[in-house]
Chains A and B, each alone.
Chain A
Amino acid sequence: MFSYRVSGLAVASEVDLPGLIPGDPDRAPEVTIRNAPVPFALDDPEMVGPTWQRAGDRFLLRIPDIARFLLEDGRSIAFEAENGADPQDVAVFLSGSVFGVLLHQRNQIVLHASAVLVGGKAVLFCGASGAGKSTLAAALGKQGYPLIADDQCAIEIGDDGIPMIQADGRQLRLWEKSISELGLAERRGDAMRNRLLKFYVDPAASSERPVPIGAVYALTEIRHPDEPGIERPNIVDATKLLTVNAYRPMLIHRFAQRDVYFRGGTTIAATSGIFRLKRRLGFDGLPATIAMLRGHWTQIGLAEAAS
């Protein structure tokens, strides 16, 4: 068995999952991953999607020609590869898309976001695929801000009401274009799939401890002539912003999580702050975006003013 720690959970897996941080093999697993027969359909599903079905606490996800995944009660994942799929291909979906669904199934708040450490707190950047989350985290990494998580951020509200992010220590996942534009070729690891130009990239530094959330930014692309800037929406809009940036927003409704996200959103908006980061997309604008963020971190007390 392989042991990992994913979004704070102890995971025992029958298969190697590249890109995850190793876990403590002596700790009792909260999630087990095993290679086992998985049906093509569930009995009496109450919801059927284009690639998935749900029946009670069983959730089936099928990625044709790669694998079928059966998630039970947020505690176990069984997978069966299809048509001799490459184990590496199965693994990238297990540790990404499938684990994201599992976190929703566990009733956790999970955002589609990357996160870096600023002044001892987590700063999150939310957005859909292609919004620039990983690229911004990688660019900040080059400036000395350690990586906390890439792509998925699991959030817990502690008993003291402080929102915390479970550090994931996942490697960065960057496209070739970003790697070359950011000058990270030396840190480039394996391709995530052998037919894709998307690679694991070692962050210069990473944080492996859970940390309180300092700020959440929703990445918003603007076009000429709109000006870049950082806005703080009112608490209602901030909560909506958090919901639309869930890892899989559709599951909030399907798993009856609206209340969890609403309460989480109001707490995060009140304690850490939820902001809209308006900027032009593209590598040219990165230095200006980082300068704007640094100014904002000083303003909200995450960093001291440059002397």
Chain B
Amino acid sequence: MIPTVWLASYPKSGNTWFRILVANLWSKLDTPININLIHSTDSIASGRNQFDRQTLIDSALLTNDEIDRLRPASYAYAAAGNTLADPDDPCFPVRFVKVHDAYIRNDFGEALLGGAAGGAGAILFVRDPRDVAASFAHHMRCPIDMAIDRMADANFCFAAATDRVDRQFRQRLLSWSGFTRSWLDQRDIPVHLVRYEDLLSDTAATARAALAFAGIEPDPVQLDRAIAFASIGELQRQEAQHGFREAPRDVRGFFRRGVAGGWRDELHPHQIARIERDHGPMMDRLGYDRSTVITEQRL
């Protein structure tokens, strides 16, 4: 059976970059794959269309809580390889599925993502929250202070509006710290941690370790080629030419800077202090040095 591995992240932490890298690794083309045709990894776990296809239910007529009760079974069904039984589905060595939901339970107490039945493991992408803040603000077209508010909000959700239908289900992200903690501390499935900064500074070694966790040993030449094909310059070039379908509507420049430490010239001191106050313990846990005086208790 083809294993399912979640690609879990708070937004703007390298998840899409990794998916495009993998898609290039598995591509037979000698040019970079089209970023709007990434067939080699599943679309996001919260996608409505695949749920409706598998359950045969019009989810637009279900409430968010009713959907959450059915999500574990739909993930277990897909992970068991049932959706791959369709002749038109492509087959790849691992079924990678992106997810922005925190690792939470539904109101029946079941793991939303189906626990061990929904996935064999997870690669968790994290990024310095100070860099996430600036990128997230751009992503949501809001001031940086509002992005910082949302990153501290334990009730923050994507796609929670009830007066329209979204192509994605409601996703509870929790706070930035809460999201990361939910994945690191759950005991249902093994987790491999990838720091965006490490993926940037030594892409080959970091990607190789993450792929090894998923049971993949890439050819070094092909991996180098995939890394080059997924460079920030290439991603920006394609987005400028045709846009990026996975970007929020009206956001230009999904692939914005692709750097580490950009917060030093993008954030005001009070914003830096606020993020470090909100998320200090988790920053410490992940090895992100704080620039302001530590007043919180260490984890």
Contact = CB atoms under 8 A, between A and B. Distances in A.
A128 B56 contact: no
Given A64-B69, A177-B163, A253-B85, A226 B53 contact: no
B61 interface: yes
A11 B69 CA distance: 32
Given A51-B56, A195-B63, A226-B243, A253 B86 contact: yes
Interface string B17-52: 000000000000000000000000000000011001
Interface string B219-261: 0000000000000000000001111110101101000000000
A129 B58 contact: yes
Contact of A128 (B167, B242, B252): B167
A224 B243 contact: yes
B240 A128 contact: no
A129 B53 contact: no
Interface string A38-82: 000000000001111000000001011100000000000000000
Contact of B56 (A49, A192, A226): A49
A27 interface: no
B86 A129 contact: no
Contacts of A226: 242-243
B61 A281 contact: no
A92 interface: yes
Contact of A130 (B48, B70, B242, B244): B48
B58 A52 contact: no
Interface string A208-250: 0000000000000111111000000000000000000000111
A178 B165 CA distance: 10
A63 B242 contact: no
A51 B73 contact: yes
B4 to A, nearest CB: 14
Nearest to A280: B249
B60 A178 contact: no
A144 to B, nearest CB: 26
A128 B48 contact: yes
Instruction: Kindly name the residue among B56, B85, B242, B249 whose own CB sees the greatest number of chain A CB atoms within 10 A.
Output: B56
Contacts of B61: 92-93, 96-97, 192-193, 196, 198
Contact of B77 (A49, A65, A253): A49
A119 interface: no
Contacts of B66: 64-65
Contacts of B13: none
B74 A249 contact: no
Contacts of B63: 195-196
Nearest to A220: B245
Interface in A2-53: 49-52
B87 interface: yes
Contact of A97 (B49, B56, B165, B241): B56
A50 B249 contact: no
Contacts of A221: 245
A129 B165 contact: yes
B164 A175 contact: yes
Given A51-B73, A225-B242, A93 B58 contact: yes
A66 B244 CA distance: 39
A258 to B, nearest CB: 8
A202 interface: no
Given A223-B243, A223-B249, A52 B56 contact: yes
A251 interface: yes
Contacts of B83: 250
A197 B56 contact: no
B198 interface: no
Nearest to A223: B243
Contacts of A253: 85-87
A198 B60 contact: yes
A101 interface: yes
B70 A50 contact: yes
A50 B163 contact: no
B38 to A, nearest CB: 15
A65 B164 CA distance: 23
Contacts of A161: none
A197 B87 contact: no
A287 interface: no
A87 interface: no
B240 A51 contact: no
B73 A50 contact: yes
Interface string A170-198: 00000111100000000000001101111
Interface of A: 49-52, 61, 63-65, 92-93, 96-97, 100-101, 128-131, 151, 175-178, 192-193, 195-198, 221-226, 248-251, 253, 280-282
A-B pairs, top 10 by smallest CB distance, nearest first, are A223-B243, A50-B73, A177-B164, A50-B77, A176-B163, A128-B49, A130-B167, A51-B55, A177-B163, A130-B165
10 contacts: A51-B55, A64-B69, A93-B57, A128-B167, A129-B52, A177-B164, A196-B63, A221-B245, A223-B247, A225-B243
